[in-house]
Structure 1
Amino acid sequence: MSGFFQSSYQQARTAFLRAVQADSRVQWKKALLHPLHGAEAEPLALDAVWLGRMDARRLLVLQSATHGIEGFAGSAVQVAVLHQALTLPEDTALLLLHAMNPWGFSHRRRVDEAGIDLNRNFVDFSQPPENTGYKELADALIPAHWTLEALATADQRLADFREVYGEQIYEEAVSGGQYTHPRGLFYGGRAPGWSRLQLQHLAEELRLAERDAVAIIDVHTGLGEWSVGEIICDHPPRSIGVEWARAWYGDAVTEPFLGTSSSVPKWGLIDFFWHQLLPDRCSFVTLEYGTGSTEQLFNVLRADHWLATQAVGQVDAALKNRIQAELLEHFCPAATDWRQAVVQQGLLRVRQALEGLSKV
């Protein structure tokens, strides 16, 4: 199972497209080319592939690399699904969206080329949310200098905020989404990013809003208990989206709005695009594979964003390599058991979603 993981975006895309080419169920495919090139000067694309009848009433959507560097896991699951040749229930299709954020996948960053976190980009930009907590913490989250002394001072400010306001408000301030600091963590942008626009175009071209029932699984990594694929459901409590998720995936489902998830409520999630597109006719879940603590997540991202603010050649090579290695290890651990668990659980959740859709 761990063999489905690749070591670069280019290799992952090649493996995906080879599996697509070999699958007779593919009815339609499209490469949405990104205007920039990747870290190896390779072309970048959001690859969309449709398996099964184009007019199917029910649809499962499997997304990867919403957060670019997390695409290694999502791509592995998608390729494994293609190799399994799962039987699609009657009147049910499968849509694979490979590399929602291809630039971030290739450059091994969570954000896109503009520093936008795609999973905070789905807001009304005429009235963007205001995150006063982030404004207070911004300079501490990404200090001007990455030295032991500067970090100690910054970390103390973060600890003081947490002590005063509590863990929940602290995590919401840091990761809930912010729209004022373009080089900061969890920046949602000031306008729809490239990936959001591509998703909107695909929805129109494929007439997704006309489907009767849609399940969406968006694969993520980096938050929660080691190798556990948490099913995070950000639908409103007691909505049909939650009901379907609980019926299909069972006790693995958690809800940020009820405080049962490793994730806190957030603004601008890609989930909300699907909620709006298919109210009462979809169930969107984030399949979040744990790799470490929330504090560790924040710290590797702080280092990555600090590094991105520095001029080329300004940072000591050893420090730069360490920051990049720690970021990759957090979002795509090399451990074989973790990678096997990702693929095994991914296949299980895809089967459960297909079975659940067949009963709608």
Structure 2
Amino acid sequence: MTHSAHFSQSYAEARTKFLAMAAATGLDVKSHMHPLRGRHDEPLAMDVLFDGPKDAQLMLIISSGCHGVEGFGGSGVQLALLSDAAWRTAARQAGVAVLYIHAVNPYGFSWWRRTTHENVDLNRNFHDFSKPPPANPAYDKLAALLVPPQWPPTLMNKLSLLSFVATHGTKATQAAVSGGQYRHPRGLFYGGCSPTWSHKTLREVLREHGRQRQRIGWIDLHTGLGPSGIGERIFACRNEASALQRAGAWWGPNVTSAHDGSSTSAVLEGQMWSAIYDECPQAEYTGIALEYGTLPMRQVFEALRADQWLEIHPEASDGKRHRIKRQIRDAFYTDTDVWKRQVVEQAKEAAQQAIQGLVSK
């Protein structure tokens, strides 16, 4: 089977393949059903598959679809790993259980959106909402420009954004836009005002499967940042020297961190991995986001803006809707054999390294 066979053209197809692969390997899936339906009226679910001894002290989490439409790449990787008998045997022999969480945000996956049905960026939603949300005054200044009244945007809109970048710099602009904001529910990178369905469900999954483990690794699969087909290994733990040292020992010296500016990602608020510290406090945790590049950042950014405009303009013509939805999918999923091969090969390497890291002392 070629790598491309593990990838899909829709959420429904991806889920069907995932469930079929589980059945073929004799593994049980627990499906956490989403309250809404998909774009083709299909059921939506966060599907969870546990592969390994129930009493394993070591566990590796491999998750896909935190950002909905990014699930095309992540689901393909999960299926490739599940179909690899040698990989599964190596994990079991090492005493490592593998927890596959398929489509953490199934709504976004199905509807080709990066956000949840609440228009929330799930990777900005893991905030303690009993406390005031973080402020992002730079985003406040940009909010009206980022999602303008009309699409395509006017020349004045484009010039205003360019002026902001020229004044504040590319890095500062990226941080302002993508770092997370909590005041504009119809804007980009909105962190929400309460835990989303996916947030609450993921915590339930972590409690069920993680509380009896001593060491936990996590590879969270993402797309959309960096050079095409290259998987950046972004440190996904608290800003602690010991955790960063472990991540480097597991995944090599090219592990990057937003904390020291070495990553293509800005420092983000309310990240998903932070839940592991609450739900599995007994475990030593080490994780990365494996972020695969697709298109140049400017094109990805424009696709996000267009899709957010479309979300608040349901009156848009069918032709415009089709173009924007294709644009957003292409920004996060490169549907070529070469890209898929690159993605799978790098993921398999990272997964094997994680196994070795978990068993090392």
Per the normalisation by structure 2, the TM-score is: 0.94
Which deviations, in whole Å up to 9, do the C-alpha atoms of 1:69-98 show, x marking residues without a partner? 000111101111110022214332010000
SS in 1 for 2:158: helix
Shift of 1:116: 0.8
Shift of 1:278: 4.7
Shift of 1:106: 0.6
Shift of 1:315: 1.6
Aligned to 1:192: 195
Matched, 1:224 2:226: yes
Partners of 2:82 and 2:154 lie apart in 1 by: 45
Partners of 2:133 and 2:224 lie apart in 1 by: 26
Aligned to 2:48: 48
Partners of 1:39 and 1:238 lie apart in 2 by: 42
Partners of 2:211 and 2:135 lie apart in 1 by: 30
Partners of 1:162 and 1:302 lie apart in 2 by: 16
Aligned to 2:204: 201
Matched, 1:110 2:111: no
Partners of 2:324 and 2:95 lie apart in 1 by: 47
Shift of 1:247: 0.8
SS in 2 for 1:252: coil
Q: Which amino acid aligns with 1:114?
A: E
Shift of 1:342: 0.9
Partners of 2:263 and 2:10 lie apart in 1 by: 30
Shift of 1:192: 0.2
Which deviations, in whole Å up to 9, do the C-alpha atoms of 1:295-348 show, x marking residues without a partner? 22211100000011112xx22333222211111111111222111111111111
Matched, 1:60 2:60: yes
Partners of 1:183 and 1:308 lie apart in 2 by: 9
Partners of 1:282 and 1:261 lie apart in 2 by: 20
Shift of 1:29: 3.0
Task: Give the 5 Å matches for 1:117-136.
Answer: 117-126=121-130, 127-136=132-141
Q: Do 1:62 and 1:95's aligned partners in 2 also have CA atoms closer than 8 Å?
A: yes
Partners of 2:32 and 2:342 lie apart in 1 by: 30
Identity across matched positions, percent:
39
Aligned to 2:325: 324
Task: Give the 5 Å matches for 1:1-360.
Answer: 1-24=3-26, 26=27, 28-85=28-85, 86=87, 87=89, 88=91, 89-126=93-130, 127-147=132-152, 150-206=153-209, 208-278=210-280, 281-311=284-314, 314-360=315-361
Distance 1:91 1:334, change over 3 A: closer
Shift of 1:212: 1.1
SS in 2 for 1:222: strand
Moved more, 84-93 or 102-111: 84-93
Q: Which amino acid aligns with 2:17?
A: A
SS in 1 for 2:211: helix
Shift of 1:271: 1.9
Q: RMSD between aligned alpha carbons?
A: 1.5
Q: Which amino acid aligns with 2:176?
A: A
Moved more, 283-292 or 315-324: 315-324
Partners of 1:285 and 1:134 lie apart in 2 by: 27
Q: Which amino acid aligns with 2:127?
A: V
Shift of 1:5: 0.6
Partners of 1:68 and 1:223 lie apart in 2 by: 15
Shift of 1:151: 3.0
SS in 1 for 2:259: helix
Q: Do 2:206 and 2:276's aligned partners in 1 also have CA atoms closer than 8 Å?
A: no
Q: State the number of aligned residues.
A: 353
Q: Do 1:274 and 1:284's aligned partners in 2 also have CA atoms closer than 8 Å?
A: no
Which deviations, in whole Å up to 9, do the C-alpha atoms of 1:254-304 show, x marking residues without a partner? 111111111110101112112444567111210000012222221110000
Q: Do 2:207 and 2:279's aligned partners in 1 also have CA atoms closer than 8 Å?
A: no
Moved more, 278-287 or 178-187: 278-287
Q: Do 1:31 and 1:48's aligned partners in 2 also have CA atoms closer than 8 Å?
A: yes
Partners of 2:212 and 2:244 lie apart in 1 by: 21
Q: Which amino acid aligns with 2:66?
A: T
SS in 2 for 1:257: coil
Q: Which amino acid aligns with 1:124?
A: D
- Unaligned 5+ segments in structure 1 are none
Partners of 1:54 and 1:70 lie apart in 2 by: 30
Q: Which amino acid aligns with 1:330?
A: A
Per the normalisation by structure 1, the TM-score is: 0.94
- Unaligned 5+ segments in structure 2 are none
SS in 1 for 2:154: helix
Moved more, 259-268 or 240-249: 240-249
Q: Which amino acid aligns with 1:273?
A: A
Shift of 1:234: 3.5
Q: Do 2:29 and 2:49's aligned partners in 1 also have CA atoms closer than 8 Å?
A: yes
SS in 2 for 1:210: coil
